[in-house]
Structure 1
């Protein structure tokens, strides 16, 4: 059985789409998978079970990337074609079953919408596959001791939804303090290569021997392997936040000018903490749609710290019950 899986250019949406991919991989043992997606998202699919091929689709003028994709896959028979980008491609390829996302339902979380698309309720949680080399590299990067691991994503692809660095620094300090919920934790800071400079105040607030940095200098699946070793992730609404949720570990996503009802961390231990202002109020009061201002001002540090404390207490209680 062969599956053609067409998904997003963006990392976050691609991670959410693994909910659908997971369903087909887990319910069809031995299935052979071809993934078509944008270059940024491509690395997260490199260890998918049954992977045959990844086709990168950098955007081109006049939709030339779709023509390139068609030429790459048109001479194969596909048992299942999944197109989560709503193109006409699925209908002009030889195949048996076609699953096409035609648009967004704003009454649902994006993963819940994907679950309905494939007829699964509740929707499967997103999942990112890793290989042994990524797990090995994570062990090399992170300290191997009894200290907890706090992962922080202090950046995002838009300044508007980036919480202030000084508030991240204060939050980290409170979580790591004596008696804090993650006392003396080692801190892993993660982000894209072009986001490190903006994150420098957060990085500098942590003693050098108590921090590790990954800002695009490691494979995304190595980052995923590190996330699976975390005790807690705290970060802005971003693709890395969705990867953290997919790790199965406690994840807090910070929301302001994006809709948590659509993009909250979709996992048992995922929580959204949003600004005191609603999405609509933030958008109504911003300077302009082109502004380069931070729109997270009404999210206080204590609100995030309290959410972290409550989540960790709940998680530890259940883990202690099972353990």
Structure 2
């Protein structure tokens, strides 16, 4: 049985789609899977079970990347075709069964929307697959037998970026003698092109406490690192979704994005947002997403600290239960 799984180019959206892929594989253990996605997201699927290959689709003019995908897939007899992008390819390729994404229901979380495409209720939670190499590298990078705080001060748009100095102050409070993670190491995560977004954080966290992994590890090693952490606090980003999928307590910081659609989806996740709602942030006079600075200014360190403490207490209660 052959299945083609056409998913997203952005890391966060691709992570959210992994739940239905995992359920597809669980329901059809003999299936041979081909994944098609953007180059940035492709490493997420590199060690997925039953994987034949990942087809990377760098965006091309006139949507020629879809023609390239069709060319690579046309000769295969597909039993299942899942096209979350609602692309021309799903119309042109032949398959015994097709699941094609449509316009997202604005009242649903994206995980629920994706589950509905494949008639999966309740929707399966995102999951990421690792190998021993990812886990081994992560163990080498982190201190053993200690609770660890992970920070994700990055986002794909400046409007969603909380002030790096506030991240550093939050880390100071959470790891203080009276904090929930007393004297914990602080891991700072980000991609190879996100050093400028993390500089203010890394400079303000003491060197003997800081584990700076920005641009130093791949996505799945980042997931392995996060699985060893106690708590993640970060902007609405792909990294936030990786943290939630890793199963740790995950607090997402929201402002000019909709938590009802993109809140971290995991067993112990929560959000805290700016005092201004989404409409107030992006609907104001003179707003331009191309020229705006950060829109996270009304989210205070106090707000995030309270939410982090509340989430941590919940995580501890569930751990005991």
Q: Please indicate the TM-score interval, normalised by the length of the shorter structure.
A: over 0.9
Residue in structure 1 matched with residue 223 of structure 2 by the alignment: 224
Matched, 1:248 2:227: no
Quote how far apart the aligned CAs of 1:216 are: 2.5
In the aligned structure 1, how far is the partner of 2:213 from the partner of 2:103?
A: 35
Q: Deviations over 1:98-154 (max 9, x none)?
A: 00002221111111111111112211110011111100110111112x321111001
- Partner-residue secondary structure (3-state), 1:194: coil
Residue in structure 1 matched with residue 22 of structure 2 by the alignment: 22
Maintained 8 Å contact 1:286/1:295: no
In the aligned structure 1, how far is the partner of 2:31 from the partner of 2:285?
A: 48
Quote how far apart the aligned CAs of 1:286 are: 6.3
Q: Deviations over 1:22-44 (max 9, x none)?
A: 11012111321100000000000
Quote how far apart the aligned CAs of 1:74 are: 0.7
In the aligned structure 2, how far is the partner of 1:128 from the partner of 1:286?
A: 41
Residue in structure 1 matched with residue 182 of structure 2 by the alignment: 183
Quote how far apart the aligned CAs of 1:79 are: 1.1
Matched, 1:138 2:138: yes
Maintained 8 Å contact 1:163/1:236: yes
Maintained 8 Å contact 2:195/2:215: no
Maintained 8 Å contact 1:147/1:184: no
User: Quick check: 123-132 or 197-206, which moved more?
Assistant: 197-206
Quote how far apart the aligned CAs of 1:302 are: 1.1
User: Quick check: 37-46 or 85-94, which moved more?
Assistant: 85-94
In the aligned structure 2, how far is the partner of 1:152 from the partner of 1:274?
A: 17
Structure 1's consecutive aligned runs of 4 or more residues displaced over 4 angstroms after TM superposition are none
Q: Deviations over 1:161-208 (max 9, x none)?
A: 100111111111110000201111111111122211231111112121
Residue in structure 2 matched with residue 268 of structure 1 by the alignment: 267
Q: Deviations over 1:222-252 (max 9, x none)?
A: 0011111110000000000000010111000
User: Quick check: 199-208 or 63-72, which moved more?
Assistant: 199-208
Matched, 1:305 2:305: yes
Residue in structure 1 matched with residue 34 of structure 2 by the alignment: 34
Would the alpha carbon gap of residues 286 and 36 (structure 1) be closer, same or farther in structure 2, given more than 3 Å must change?
A: farther
What is the root-mean-square deviation in Å for CA atoms of aligned residues?
Answer: 1.1
TM-score, length-scaled by structure 2:
0.97
Maintained 8 Å contact 2:125/2:265: yes
Residue in structure 2 matched with residue 114 of structure 1 by the alignment: 114
In the aligned structure 1, how far is the partner of 2:221 from the partner of 2:93?
A: 35
- Partner-residue secondary structure (3-state), 2:257: coil
- Partner-residue secondary structure (3-state), 1:191: coil
Residue in structure 2 matched with residue 258 of structure 1 by the alignment: 257
- Partner-residue secondary structure (3-state), 1:285: coil
Residue in structure 2 matched with residue 205 of structure 1 by the alignment: 204
- Partner-residue secondary structure (3-state), 1:86: coil
Residue in structure 2 matched with residue 194 of structure 1 by the alignment: 193
Residue in structure 2 matched with residue 87 of structure 1 by the alignment: 87
Q: Deviations over 1:70-115 (max 9, x none)?
A: 1111101111100001112112112111000022211111111111
Would the alpha carbon gap of residues 111 and 286 (structure 1) be closer, same or farther in structure 2, given more than 3 Å must change?
A: farther
- Partner-residue secondary structure (3-state), 1:244: helix
In the aligned structure 1, how far is the partner of 2:179 from the partner of 2:286?
A: 38
TM-score, length-scaled by structure 1:
0.97
- Partner-residue secondary structure (3-state), 2:76: coil
Q: Deviations over 1:3-50 (max 9, x none)?
A: 100011111110011121111012111321100000000000001011
Would the alpha carbon gap of residues 95 and 247 (structure 1) be closer, same or farther in structure 2, given more than 3 Å must change?
A: same
Residue in structure 2 matched with residue 52 of structure 1 by the alignment: 52
Gaps of 5+ in 2: none
In the aligned structure 1, how far is the partner of 2:248 from the partner of 2:307?
A: 15
